Amino acid sequence: MLSAVKRYKLLVSSALARCFPRTSAYVQSEDDLILRRWPDAGVKSGGKSGHPGKKVRKAKSAAKPTRRTDAAASTAPKVASKPRTKARKPAGDGIYGPAKLSVNEQQIQAMRLRVGRAVDAGVIRAPSDEQWAMILEESPATRIFAGAGSGKSTTLVLRVVFMLCHLDIPPERLTVISFTNASCAELREQLVRVLGFWNFDFDPARARQCVRTFHSAMAVLAKDLLGKPQWFEQLDEKGASPTELDNPLTASRLRAGQLRLLKEAYQRCYAEDQRFRELVHALLGLAPPPESGTRRAVPRAPLDGCKLAGEFRTAPLFEAFYAQAGFIESIGIRIDQIQLTRLACKEPERNFIEALQLFWRQFQSALEAQGLMTFNGAFQALTQQLNGGGKVSDDALAPFSHLLIDEFQDISPQIVQWLQALHGTLARQGETVSLMAIGDDWQSIYGWRGSSPELFMDFDKYFPAKGGAKQSRTLVLETNYRSIEPVIRDGEAVLAGVAVKQAKASKASRPTQPGDHGVKLITRFDIKTRLPDLIRDIQTQCEHVAGLPNPDRNAVLVLSRRNEPLRAIEAQLDRKLPVKAYTIHRAKGLQAEVAIIVDDCLPSERHPLRSALYAYSGFFRNSYDQAMADENLRLAYVAITRGVSRVFWYTQKAQGATRLLADKGKAR
């Protein structure tokens, strides 16, 4: 027999269903949304879900997410104007600990002694006190805020050495995750060299197993649990390894085989589904298609270009579907489970998602017919399988017991869900797990692909420790060993416009020499008419670096958001000059004595579709548009902090990040 409260709830919900069907659908779907995002939310637990705080080793480094307090803050949008689903914490008693890693004084002294000998032998540089704190940390869940030029790569290598050689963690139970195959190769080389000094058996083959990208680590697990899938992303890629996957953030445009499969799915969906045809014509602004059942044959699907609001280019609809699907899945949403009534957007955006759902069903059938799987699909399948509660072999999960993850600020909700499933499964099976996350929210620049620094800033929400506090250990590497102080301060100046960020400050280790300077802003620069002037300036900087007593190994980096200016510059440069040209995204992690930036870091236009999806996902406190505005300023910070002793920025007009610099009197 129902209680009075339950009867009352039933009466209210029935009335809502009759009078307010959209509201009713929203309420009824709430539990489904929670369970999809946090599979353990339906499991009863005796523990309480506390609100984790932040803990920092030094009191002066206590860093909490802060909003701007300057005058610009009053005009910047802080949250979306429409209601959004609040991100929820996973239920249960946490994942990590409460026991700490077994670190004793004897192990610490042995590590310090061996590091001292390695320094004397010229194998490594002596760690600072803040770097030692990271190397020797005993918490099973640790977050490291590592600023630009803080020496995090070398410190990460020594942390691995400590775990393998002094804590006796088997290498087959430890995985280091880096951002790209290129950065993985550098880490492997360092590990083999340094571990050789410790006389630890760690050859290149073992290093390849230990150091991976997220996608490579996923592929190794998929080989065991998903039946050795073949990847859609590797179609027409000669010599591609099914397990040595690079981060698709660096991928180029779709290849012919991929486009062919997408186009075939699009054509088939158009031919078979009347509703899809109607939506396609509405999205492309075409006359309505003929009704199904008429004698007129169904025409071929239109290949007109479609430009969504907020996107940079026009593309055929099947390409637009694929691009937005990648974003949707990366922010933790299942395309087939999107409830259109929950999307806070207008009809064009809702029509796009409805059409995408129909297309995606056809595309998935095409993939299955050819034995293919997408990277995102594999992450989803693995997460679902791990959360299903079934026993997974120890051999398959063993490499993920101890994880050290670099560039954590560029993690996406989908990766968060996968990591939770991995370590949650291992913890349930009684295995000891640990996670060290290293990153810098100031250098998060891949939000357009679904990543967000908020996930790093809210680390304890997603990766809770066991016990009352449910807190991870938080450390800060605040010394910058790369750039002089004027460069650091100018980089921090552009971050003043970021709405949500971690409060911290970098300390310069390198002294400023005569002739060194921060950003010099050159305005009214048009690359079409003043390219010869820029080429002469680059040559002058090369000559300057050649005369320095101890210059950086890279003389000049030329940076831009876009490839077009870089190609124009490279076409006019003497190839013998020590100059490298990169987009700012590809230059992340690099440095040069002089950085030359050619471009503006302007916010992109508003993207109503992604704003609605951002709110729907429930992971973010920011709106998508505000997140992109912040990201463009962080991109400027990354560009500036590539420079060691000089930075020049050429721009047509001071706007965006360059406006903040111009206000500091940097323009000339």
Task: Check pLDDT > 70 for residue 553.
Answer: yes
Give yes or no for a cis peptide into 98 (omega within 30° of 0).
Answer: yes
In tens, the pLDDT along 100-122 reads 999 999 999 999 999 999 999 99
Orientation of helix 105-120 relative to helix 181-197, angle to 10°: 100
Going by the annotation, the residues of the binding site for ATP are 146-153
**Residue 299's pLDDT band (cuts 50, 70, 90):** confident
d(CA 440, CA 449): 18
Q: For residues 23 and 16, is the Cβ–Cβ distance under 8 A?
A: yes
pLDDT-derived band at 267, boundaries 50, 70, 90: very high
Residue 6 φ/ψ, nearest 5 degrees:
-65, -40
pLDDT in tens, 348-401: 999 999 999 999 999 999 999 999 999 999 999 999 999 987 678 888 999 999
User: What is residue 29's predicted lDDT score, i.e. its pLDDT?
Assistant: 46
- Domain boundary assignment for the chain: 105-229+391-477, 248-292+299-370, 480-665
More confident residue, 299 or 513: 513
On the question of pLDDT at 58 being above 70, the answer is no
Q: What is the pLDDT of residue 451?
A: 94
pLDDT of residue 67: 43
pLDDT of residue 77: 34
Query: Would you state the structure tokens that stand for residue 434, as one six-digit string?
Result: 């640990």
Average pLDDT over residues 421-447: 95
Per-residue pLDDT tens over the stretch 598-625: 987 776 789 999 999 999 999 998 899 9
pLDDT of residue 251: 59
pLDDT digits (tens, 9 = 90+) for 152-199: 999 999 999 999 999 999 999 999 999 888 899 999 999 999 999 999
pLDDT at 603: 67
Res. 499: pLDDT tops 90: no
Largest CA distance in the chain: 89
Q: Check residue 392 and give its pLDDT.
A: 82
Which residues are part of a known binding site? 146-153
Please provide residue 56's backbone torsions phi and psi, each rounded to the nearest 5 degrees: -125, 145
Contacts of 521 (CB under 8 A, 6+ apart): 649, 651, 654, 658, 661, 662, 666, 667, 668
| Position 413 pLDDT exceeds 50 | yes
pLDDT at 253: 82
User: pLDDT of 78-102, one tens digit each?
Assistant: 333 333 333 444 445 789 998 999 9
pLDDT in tens, 455-485: 999 999 999 998 766 789 999 999 999 999 9
Q: Is the pLDDT of residue 548 over 70?
A: yes
Do 190 and 182 touch, CB atoms closer than 8 A? no
Mean pLDDT of 33-62: 39
More confident residue, 22 or 304: 304
Q: Which pLDDT does position 56 carry in this prediction?
A: 38
φ, ψ (nearest 5 deg) of residue 202: -150, 85
Find the mean pLDDT for residues 505-531.
94
Tell me, what's the pLDDT at 76? 37
Question: In the structure, what pLDDT confidence band is assigned to residue 497 with cuts at 50, 70 and 90?
Answer: confident
* pLDDT of 419 over the 70 cut: yes
Q: Are 531 and 569 in contact (CB under 8 A)?
A: yes
Q: Residues 6 or more apart from 449 whose CB is under 8 A from it?
A: 249, 326, 327, 330, 412
Tell me which DSSP letter residue 410 carries.
Answer: G
pLDDT, residue 455, reads 96
Record the pTM. Answer: 0.85
- What pLDDT is stored for residue 210 in this prediction? 97
For residue 239, what pLDDT band results from cuts at 50, 70 and 90?
Answer: confident
- Integer-rounded Cα Rg, in Å, for the chain is 26
Question: What are the pLDDT digits (tens) for 630-645?
Answer: 999 999 999 999 999 9
- Common-topology check for domains 105-229+391-477 and 480-665: yes
8 Å CB contact between 404 and 156: yes
Full 3-state SS string of 294-311: CCCCCCCCCCCEECCCCC
Q: pLDDT category, 325, cuts 50, 70, 90?
A: very high
Is residue 273 scored above 90 in pLDDT?
Answer: yes
Q: Percent of the chain, pLDDT > 90?
A: 72
Kindly report the average pLDDT of the chain as a whole number: 86
The stretch 251-264 carries a mean pLDDT of 89
Domain range 105-229+391-477, CATH class:
alpha beta
Fold of the 480-665 domain: Rossmann fold (3.40.50)
Average pLDDT over residues 515-532: 95
Task: Let me know if 342 is exposed, middle or buried by CB neighbors in 10 A (0-12, 13-18, 19+).
Answer: middle
